[in-house]
A = this chain, B = another copy of it.
Amino acid sequence: DVAGRVVAVVDVLRASSSIATALANGARAVIPGENSEAIMTWSKAFDRREVRLAGERRMRMIDGFDLGNSPLEFTREAVEGHTVLMTTTNGTGAIAAAQGAKEVLVGAYVNFSPVAAVLRAAARRGADVALICAGHEGQFALEDAACAGRFVRHATRRVAGATLNDAALAAMQLDRKFGDDRWGLFETSTHGQALANAGFAADLVACATLDAHPVVPVYQDRQVVRLGAPAEA
């Protein structure tokens, strides 16, 4: 239950990383959709030239879409000034499901520090902070839990009175195990292995780069926008 909580949705491989990259590269907003039909329906509200359709199924770009789910595709050339309509197997659904939380952020390693700072500010003012791990095809994903553990550690360090639930403690243990060896983390995880085997090793490198895109994506009114961005990008 997310009501009243400050939530960060973590889908390291790859939706969170791609969304942070898109916003850092000037996308106006990313609108998550449940499936390609939802995306096509949404797209009718826009001038087709304003939007980019993005997303994947079984790791691959969806037929007729402009972009897949590789962070490397969300270049400035591809997304600047555009609204990205996006559907992925795990991440976008997890973001949409967080609707109703007090605040919803989207976090990964590529935008770790600024998101951690926002979570820490929330924890210091006594807010109930939750990390939501999107996972991989409905299963627990090692890389999301490890990244969430890092968020927990940074958000609660020396915050007086902070209490952690068992899942947060376990996630911190995974972060401690892998430390900054994100390559080892991705090599160990099922999803990381699947992406490497499918030819997306470069995506793993991109998703492993700490603070490559220091933006705080916030989900509000059914779209993800950059925290602190001017109303007109």
Which residues of A are at the interface with B, using a C-beta cutoff of 8 A? 136, 139-142, 145, 165-167, 169-170, 173-174, 177, 188-191
Contact = CB atoms under 8 A, between A and B. Distances in A.
B188 A167 contact: no
Contacts of A189: 166
| Interface of chain A, main secondary structure | helix
Nearest to A171: B170
For A141, A165, A170, A191, the residue with the greatest tally of chain B CB atoms inside 10 Å of its CB is: A170
A136 B166 contact: yes
A190 B173 contact: no
Contacts of A167: 139-140
24 contacts: A136-B166, A139-B165, A139-B166, A139-B167, A140-B165, A140-B166, A140-B167, A140-B170, A141-B166, A142-B166, A142-B169, A142-B170, A145-B166, A145-B170, A165-B190, A166-B189, A166-B190, A166-B191, A169-B188, A170-B170, A170-B174, A173-B173, A173-B174, A173-B177
A167 B140 CA distance: 6
Nearest to A167: B140
A190 B170 CA distance: 12
Nearest to A192: B166
A62 B157 CA distance: 41
A136 B170 CA distance: 14
Contacts of A166: 136, 139-142, 145, 189-191
Contacts of A141: 166
Contacts of A145: 166, 170
Nearest to A166: B142
Nearest to A164: B190
Given A166-B191, A170-B174, A173-B174, 9 more contacts: A136-B166, A140-B166, A141-B166, A142-B170, A145-B170, A169-B188, A170-B170, A173-B173, A173-B177
